[in-house]
Amino acid sequence: MPELPEVETIARGLDKGVRGDVIDSVWLGSYPEPLKSSAQQIAGTLTGTRIARVRRVGKHLVFDLEPKRSRNGRGSRQWIVHLGMTGRMLVASPDEELPKHTHAVASLASGRELRFVDPRRFGRLSVRAAADFAGPGTEPLTITAEQFTELFRSRKTSIKAALLNQKLLHGVGNIYADESLFRAGIRPRRAAGRLTRAELDALHAAIKQVLNDAIRLGGSSVSDYVNAEGREGFFQLRHRVYMRTGQPCLVCRTRIKRIVLGGRGTHYCPKCQK
DNA sequence: AATGAAACCTGACAGC
DNA sequence: TGCTGTCAGGTTTCAT
């Protein structure tokens, strides 16, 4: 479900809501599918630790955990969460009904709960020892125009597929790839390596602008994204092409087209995007 | 090495 | 009402 702006919004909400809180106990659902580390590893690492900070790296939530005093001189640990397509990480009161497809619950010393809910089970949880989680690629919000250009040099694949490749940029998904390409005036099918420097500069700027605008509006709620407090975002109201197939382009009135690229539904304006 | 298709899951919705 | 088919914010794996 969530791309960079949604994960950023969730991370900010979680940081505000649970920073400094202590995880008293952890419950994990009976099936191991949504876990990347073993249930034992996760429960063992989380139980009794204080949450120092929650932040976003790419599309991952990173919980920085304070070292446990009982453990002899081991460094800090991290809890890494990927929400997949439909994952939610919610701060809730134990009185609230446990939603269907809840796979993990961390009970906090403050009396609240951290709940991981994920109907499609594409989400992944893991714990790790080091405090240097970097994610697979480069952050789109801080990359320079030069670095950005370098990423796509001599790539034969489409620019759309390249934007979705997390080993290059991490954090851009299907919505923001389509929206950025529209704003930059570039057709999704264009070969990444054949874009001009001017086009790449425009795309670089468009991505930053779209992501920042989306963060400001709390992300895009297309079907079921909500933030850590369970509230929807508003950027879906600003979508210009994504899921607007057949509707008039907001700039030129041409009908928005939908194709499949890299296995993903791809939306663009045939007139505005060259 | 890199590209694309299929697989992994459940749910919502359209059409019959 | 209920069946079938399609689609969905993502990533990994497997075949070319």
Please report, in tens digits, the pLDDT of each residue of chain A (274 residues total). Answer: 699 999 999 999 999 999 999 999 999 987 655 677 888 899 999 999 999 999 999 999 999 999 886 655 568 899 999 999 999 999 999 999 999 999 999 999 999 999 999 999 999 999 998 768 888 999 999 999 999 999 998 899 999 999 999 999 999 999 999 999 999 999 999 999 999 999 999 999 999 999 999 999 999 998 779 999 999 999 999 999 999 999 999 999 999 999 999 889 999 999 999 9
Q: How far is CA A146 from the centre of its chain?
A: 24
Q: Catalytic site residue A36?
A: no
Q: Catalytic site residue A66?
A: no
Closest to A113 (Cα-Cα) out of A29, A186, A37, A14: A14
Show Cβ contacts of residue A120 under 8 Å, excluding neighbours closer than 6 positions.
A84, A85, A86
Of the residues A8, A34, A56, A59, which is catalytic?
A59
Nearest nucleotide from residue A243 CA, by C1' atom: C8
Distance (Å, rounded) from C-alpha A114 to C-alpha A125?
13
- Strand B: which positions are within 7 A of a protein CB? 2-12
Residue–nucleotide distance: A224 CA to B14 C1' (Å): 19
Residue–nucleotide distance: A244 CA to C15 C1' (Å): 34
Nearest nucleotide from residue A1 CA, by C1' atom: C9
Q: Which residues of A99-118 are buried (b: 16+ CB within 10 A; e: fewer)?
A: eebbbbbbbbeeebbbbbbb
Sheet (strand A113-117) strand order:
A23-28, A102-108, A113-117, A88-92
Q: Catalytic site residue A2?
A: yes
Residue–nucleotide distance: A19 CA to B13 C1' (Å): 40
Q: Catalytic site residue A208?
A: no
Give protein residues whose Cβ lies within 7 A of nucleic acid chain C: A 1-3, 6, 58-59, 82, 84-86, 120, 122, 136, 164, 166, 170, 173-175, 219-225, 233, 236, 263-265
